[in-house]
Amino acid sequence: MSSGTPANKGTVRILQLYPRDMNIYGDWGNVLVLKQRLAWHGYEAVILEHNAGDTFPSDVDILIGGGGQDSGQVVIQQDLQSNAAHLRSLAGDGTPMLAICGLYQLFGNFFKTHDGTVIPGIGILDIETHGGSERLIGNVVARSEEFGDIHGYENHSGQTFLGPNVRPLATVTKGEGNNSKEDHEGARHLNIVASYLHGSLLPKNPAVADFLIREAVTRKYGSFEPGDVDDSLAELARRHAAARPR
């Protein structure tokens, strides 16, 4: 295992979007996983935060954003709109991004909450979300050709529907995922992974973490040579997650 290897191959700048208002069910853990796996692969992580009202940092390699209550989404919506063009351009340039639940919804075209409030999204993902009266709660397993089985925990009232310009991240085999009518979970577009799954997501899904790292490092340094990472603990966590009831 290479956990003692000093990070010397380069630096990767991770920006967490709105950790003050959009960070529930341990979503912050996704950033810690990226930091640790980057170290195992031989890179140093610099962790940056952007909260509503901050100046958007100029130089970022990976963007991460978590879930939040509808009220948190209302708090950040204006700041998100003021950075929308920049975020769209970063996405279009292939910057890897992970958007979970509440931020996933706002990466789309809009989120219409249960009480009829329309929170506009930034249209990076061709999706729309409608708040429902039912909450979709529980453990989820979803199968992806790209990443294998994806494990996580969902808790949302938003029902998300995908348009023609985005593909689902995975097909649900346990739980609900994007909505209660179809068996899709999350969305994939460009180098963006979007998902309803908390837990946090990345500790139990190292294939997704390494996708974000590989794309970031390749964009920045031209190629990515993975380290020799021992994933036995992640495998154990995946087996436990798979055995949990809904």
Of 31, 52, 101, 229, the one binding ligand GLN by CB under 6 A: 101
69 touching ligand GLN, by CB under 6 A: yes
Selected catalytic residue, list 41, 184, 189, 198: 198
Q: Is 65 in the site for ligand GLN (CB under 6 A)?
A: no
- What is the DSSP code (8-state) at residue 167? B
As a whole number of angstroms, the distance between CA 218 and CA 81 comes to 29
Among 158, 186, 199, 206, binds ligand GLN (CB under 6 A): 158
Strands 127-144 and 110-112: parallel
What secondary structure letter does DSSP report for 83?
Answer: T
Angle, helices 70-82 vs 84-92, to 10°: value is 80
Active site residue 198: yes
Output the smallest distance, CB 133 to ligand GLN, in A: 12
Q: Report which of 65, 147, 63, 140 is spatially closest to residue 106, judged by C-alpha positions.
A: 65
Query: Which range of residues in 61-69, 171-179, 210-218, 225-233 is near ligand GLN by CB under 6 A?
Result: 61-69
Q: Is 51 in the site for ligand GLN (CB under 6 A)?
A: no
Q: Considering only 4-12, 36-44, 83-91, 149-157, which stretch makes contact with ligand GLN by CB under 6 A? A: 149-157
The dihedral over CA atoms of 161, 148, 213, 37, expressed in degrees to the nearest 10, equals 130
Asked if 186 touches ligand GLN (CB under 6 A), the answer is: no
Position of minimal CB gap to ligand GLN:
67
Q: Considering the rule CB under 6 A, would residue 67 count as an interface residue with ligand GLN?
A: yes
Closest to 204 in 3D by CA, of 138, 152, 153: 152
When asked if residue 19 is in the footprint of ligand GLN (CB under 6 A), the reply is no
The span of 8-16, 65-73, 222-230, 236-244 binding ligand GLN (CB under 6 A) equals 65-73
Residue 157 touches ligand GLN, criterion: CB under 6 A: yes
Stretch that binds ligand GLN, among 45-53, 79-87, 156-164, 199-207 (CB under 6 A): 156-164
If you search the block for the tokens 């249209």, which residue do you land on? Answer: 123
Closest by alpha carbon to 107, among 196, 24, 240? 196
- Do 103 and 68 form a contact (C-beta atoms < 8 A)? yes
Report the distance separating Cα 202 and Cα 14, nearest Å. Answer: 14
CB closer to ligand GLN out of 18 and 40: 18
Quick check: 70 binds ligand GLN (CB under 6 A)?
Answer: yes
Provide the total of helices (H) and of strands (E) in the chain, helices listed first. 7, 12
User: Which of the residues are catalytic?
Assistant: 101, 198
Tell me which residues touch ligand GLN (CB under 6 A): 24, 67-70, 73, 101-102, 155-158
